Amino acid sequence: MVPRFSVSMIKFNFKANINTSGTAIDKKGLKIILIVFSLFILIGIAMFVGFWSFAFSRIDYIQNANVERYEQKKAIAALPVLKCVVYTDQTITSPASGEEAALYLLRVGNVKSYIASSEAHYGQYRTYENFDYNMVARYPKGTKLSINGKLYPIDFKLCIMDSLGGGETHFTKDIYSAKAHEKYDIRVYKTSENLKMDALRNLHPWIKDYYHSYKGLKNILVQEYVFKNGDSVYIKGKIEHNKIVPFVEHMLYTPSTLSDNQ
C-alpha cells in the first residue's frame, strides 16, 4: 500500500503591511528614506563629476596659457632691435639707487614660489622672479637717442630692452614690496621699501594691480637700470615718420591669473 502525502501550498502575501516582528511598516517613512538616500547619491555623483570637470578645465587652461606665453616669448625675441646711444646734457635722479641718470629703465615683476618636484629638492619651497616684457622709461626733457648717427627725440614711457645690448650691466638696485597677507617666505624674500614703491604706483600696470586690486599681485619687484650720457641701450622698436616707435607688449598672462606653481 503506497502512503499518500498531502501537500498544502504556502501563500505569500507581498502586500502585507507586517514586518518580521509583527509590527506595521511605515511605508511613507520608508519612501522618504529611499528618496533622501537617492538624492545624496545623485548629489555625490554631481559633485564628483563637477570636481573633475573643473580640475581638467583648469589643467587645460594652464597648459594653453603656457603654450601662448611661450609663443609670445618667441615672437618678442624675433622683433627688430634699435641700437641706440643716449645723448643729453641733463640728468634726473633714479628712484631706487638715487643715481643721476640720463635715462633709467625700470623692470617690473614679482616673486613666486612653488613646491619642488626634483629629486634634489623634493617637497621644498622654491622661489623665482617673473618679469613683464615692458619696462618703464624715464629721462630728462630733451633727451635724444642716436641711431646710425642720427638723433631722435624720446617721447615714450614704456619699452622693451633687448638683452643683446648688454643693458643688464647697467643694473643698480631693486625695490621690493610685499603685502601683509603674502606667504611668509615671499614676504621676507627682500626688505620691503614701501615708500619708494608707493612713488611708482602709477607707472606700470603690474604696480597698479598691486596697489589697487586686493585679489591681484601680493608682491612687486622693480629692478633699476641707469644709463649715463653716451651709454648704449638696445630696445625693440622701429623708426616711423622720423620717430622712434618702441614695441609695447605686456606678458599675455599676468602672475595674478595663473596658479603659484606655474
- Per-residue pLDDT at 174 exceeds 80: yes
pLDDT tens-place string over residues 151-171: 999 999 999 999 777 788 999
Q: Determine the average pLDDT of the residues in 177-181.
A: 93
- Per-residue pLDDT at 34 exceeds 80: no
Residue 145 — left, alpha, or beta (φ > 0 → left; ψ -120 to 50 → alpha)? beta
Task: With CA atoms as reference, report the closest residue to 236 among 114, 130, 78.
Answer: 78
- For the purposes of burial, counting CB atoms within 10 Å of the CB of 174, is it exposed (0-12), middle (13-18) or buried (19 or more)? middle
pLDDT tens-place string over residues 194-211: 999 999 999 999 999 999
DSSP characters for 214-228? Answer: TTS-SEEEEEEEEE-
Retrieve residue 7's grid coordinates.
501537500
Q: How far is CA 231 from CA 142, 162, 197, 261, in A?
A: 16, 14, 26, 39
3-state secondary structure of 236: strand
- Rounded to the nearest integer, the mean pLDDT of the chain is 82
What pLDDT is stored for residue 214 in this prediction?
77
Q: How far is CA 116 from CA 30, 65, 113, in A?
A: 53, 21, 9
Give the lowest-confidence range in 5-19, 22-36, 87-101, 125-139.
5-19
- Cβ pair 246, 237 in contact under 8 A: yes
Look up cell 625695490; give the residue: 175
Distance separating alpha carbons of residues 223 and 225, to the nearest angstrom: 7
Task: With CA atoms as reference, report the closest residue to 116 among 255, 261, 219.
Answer: 261
Q: Determine the average pLDDT of the residues in 18-44.
A: 70
Distance separating alpha carbons of residues 151 and 145, to the nearest angstrom: 6
Instruction: Say what the pTM is.
Output: 0.72
